Amino acid sequence: MKDISELTFEDGVKYAEDHEWVRQEEGEVVIGISDYAQDQLGDIVFVELPTAGDRFAKGDEFGTVESVKAVSELYMPISCEVVSSNASLEEAPEKVNNEPYGGGWMIRVKPDDPSEMDALMDKDAYIGFLKG
């Protein structure tokens, strides 16, 4: 596992305490897991994600990530409807390790209440949370 100083934390991204990140893009919100989370999990070998049209409340489990170490649940950082899932992760789940904020994104959603994102942490607050 890397030291926090060796990890990537994106500007313009909000973070949840469960280590998911959210980023607004073109009226939708993209969700994935942080560089910290993927580093803690180790090599990711499988990702289970919801399908378009599925609805979730903030805090609901929306999928799982399986690594060589463990299976971890994914928790929805905002209430929303799923627009799409990253189908490329079925064939290449390692994208979550290699590009957690890029090609390793997990789902695109339409938020029920965009103001819920205000309760999430910015980069500096998340780093402080991790150093805890």
**Alpha-helical runs (H) found in 1-132:** 35-41, 88-91, 95-98, 123-131
On average, the pLDDT of the chain sits at 97
Which residue in the block uniquely carries the two structure tokens 């299976």?
71
Strands 107-111 and 71-75: unpaired
- pLDDT tens sequence across 42-84: 999 999 999 999 999 999 999 999 999 899 999 999 999 999 9
**What amino acid occupies position 126?**
Y
- In this prediction the pTM is 0.96
For the chain, the structural domain boundaries read 4-123
* Rounded CA separation 49/132 (Å): 30
Top-level class of domain 4-123: mainly beta
* Rounded CA separation 18/77 (Å): 8
The yes-or-no verdict on residue 1 having pLDDT over 90 is no
